Amino acid sequence: MSAEDLVSGGALGAGAGAGAGAAGASGVAGMAGMAGASRVPRVPRVPRVPRVLSIAGSDPSGGAGIQADLKSIAANGGYGMAAITALTVQNTQGVRGVHVPPAEFLREQLDALSDDVTIDAVKIGMLATTEVVGVVRSWLEELQPPLIVLDPVMVATSGDRLLDAEAELALRELVRLCDLVTPNIPELAIIAAEPAAETWPELVAQAARVSASYGVRVLAKGGHLSGAEAPDALVDARLGNVPVVTEFDGIRIDTSNTHGTGCSLSSALATLIAGTGDWAAAVGESKRWLSESIRAGAALQVGSGHGPINHFAGLWQRGGVVTAPTPAEVREHWWAEVAGIRAQIDGGDFVRALGDGSLDRADFVWYLAQDALYLRDYARALAEAARLAPTAAEQAFWASSAEGCIVTELQLHESWSADGELFGAAPSATTTAYLNHLLATAARGDYAVLVAALLPCFWVYHDVGSRLHPLAHTEHPYSDWLTTYADKEFADATEQAITIVAALAADATPQVREAMLSAFVASTEHERDFFAAAFGVALT
């Protein structure tokens, strides 16, 4: 077992010093004569979590409005804020009522935010009335935030109006202040003051006219078209009469969970553009995220009408909702987890007899011989950890630990070969079982699990040694041996091994962390069995 047997030789102690592009984008120019070479201007990159403000209405069912916006902003890596323009009485089946608080109160909310917070992007949704549009407009003109995305919400999926008919003109003028507008087909038609597009080419052409006449980028959304496709296009005709059109393919998902898709997409876009400054990449990424979230919406089982999307489906699946432990918590938890096994080691006959000096010499020599056999292959597993290590420091640590084991093994042979037959024993079943566990773990190639399996040889041995070495005295038959347990370099190497493994476990997924703990516990059991096997050998 203990690689550090004979640590006084500095063998294992040698290790102590080791401390040593837009997905889905089909390219530029979606339609004849619309290709353009002009470079799309970029918003400067914000080197932090983007602070994104949603100015929108409240949807108590949580699928659209500010509720959807805040979820989308968070799901796409932003810090969300919300100033509420209107309260709706709404569920997945429709809108039952709208209450618009005094517009001055909205202005107070906006001022409170801009007085205090640097706003990296503003997303605008439901504005309800001409008065509200006016308040938002004058605040934007004064603040001039770096990025404004407008989802010109006019009519809900359910068919209910969310903007007074007479406010449409004011909203159209607001479009001019924005960097990007994301209308659905009927909304684009109203902004263009034209009949609604019926085909994809008509839609892109209309978006180009709006872009040119309002001086704004337009995301033309194909969600309301029929057919198996649900494409979108980023259309930029601001710089002349040759629009830049970047198309994004999409497959129509067969679901009724489309409530709030427009709100969610525009908020995701505001967040990603503020974060990266890359418009096309942001549209591609938002659309891929939206499709994943639409697909997962039905499983939420919210309402019986047009249900919400699941904004966090991808995050829950890939990241989970379990808070990761700190390395210190891993250390404490793992040590507590093997407390019972450690008590069995301490209370076992071998450790007790080694400590009080009553251990039969034949048992002791047999134990050292098994240790030498163990170290040979433990060194191979350490070398494999060095091969897999992600950093030079960890590679050096495991490699020097491996070397230390081989040196120790050679020293054991040199010192005890005079004991002839006893030291020449074949590996016992217990030794073989421990080594098979380590070598199989190494063969599986998972670095984190392997080093977790290697750890008890450091940690348990150091722990047992801390109680044994004070028992050494001149009359003690194994005094030299017990003294080796006090080796400072081995204590440092143990600390380093624990630090490496605990940090890896804290960073790992819950599944890998669990596999690491299992490997650690299994090795601790092998440590216990290794001690136990050496007691009473001389009698058998």
Ligand X SMILES: Cc1ncc(COP(=O)(O)O)c(N)n1
Q: Which helix or strand (DSSP H or E) is residue 25 part of? A: strand 25-28
Site size for ligand ATP (CB under 6 A)? 23
Quick one: 263 or 537, whose CB is closer to ligand X?
Answer: 263
Catalytic, 405? Answer no
Catalytic, 221? Answer yes
CA distance 219 to 232: 7
How far is C-alpha 318 from the geometric centre of its chain's CA atoms? 7
**Does 64 interact with ligand X (rule: CB under 6 A)?**
yes
Catalytic, 77? Answer no
Quick one: 310 or 524, whose CB is closer to ligand ATP?
Answer: 310
**Does 294 interact with ligand ATP (rule: CB under 6 A)?**
yes
Shortest CB 125 distance to ligand ATP, Å: 9
Find tokens 């909203």 and name the residue: 171
Catalytic, 178? Answer no
Stretch that binds ligand X, among 30-38, 55-63, 346-354, 431-439 (CB under 6 A): 55-63
**Does 521 interact with ligand ATP (rule: CB under 6 A)?**
no
Please list every residue from 240 through 259 that binds ligand ATP, using CB under 6 A: 250, 252-253, 255, 258
> Residue 167 region, left (φ>0) first, then alpha (ψ -120 to 50), else beta?
alpha
CA distance 312 to 441: 35
Catalytic, 125? Answer no
CA distance 413 to 373: 10
Across the chain, which distance is largest between two alpha carbons, in Å? Answer: 104
β pairing state of 148-150 and 244-248: unpaired
Using CA of residue 35, residue 46, residue 49, residue 81, what is the dihedral sign? negative
- What is 335-372 written as a DSSP string? HHHTHHHHHHHHHSHHHHHHHHT-S-HHHHHHHHHHHH
Q: Are 287 and 250 in contact (CB under 8 A)?
A: yes
Q: Are 397 and 20 in contact (CB under 8 A)?
A: yes
Closest CA to 517 of 446, 449, 434, 454: 449
Shortest CB 283 distance to ligand X, Å: 19
Quick one: 207 or 265, whose CB is closer to ligand ATP?
Answer: 265
**Does 232 interact with ligand ATP (rule: CB under 6 A)?**
yes
Shortest CB 90 distance to ligand X, Å: 6
Catalytic, 277? Answer no
Please list every residue from 72 through 91 that binds ligand X, using CB under 6 A: 88, 90
Please list every residue from 203 through 262 that binds ligand X, using CB under 6 A: 259-260, 262
Quick one: 88 or 310, whose CB is closer to ligand X?
Answer: 88
Q: Are 128 and 56 in contact (CB under 8 A)?
A: no
Where does this chain bind ligand ATP (CB under 6 A)?
64, 157, 184, 221-224, 230, 232, 250, 252-253, 255, 258, 260-263, 265, 287, 290-291, 294
Residues noted as catalytic: 221, 258, 260-263
Instruction: Enumerate binding residues for ligand X (CB under 6 A).
Output: 56-59, 64-65, 88, 90, 125-126, 153, 156-157, 162, 259-260, 262-263
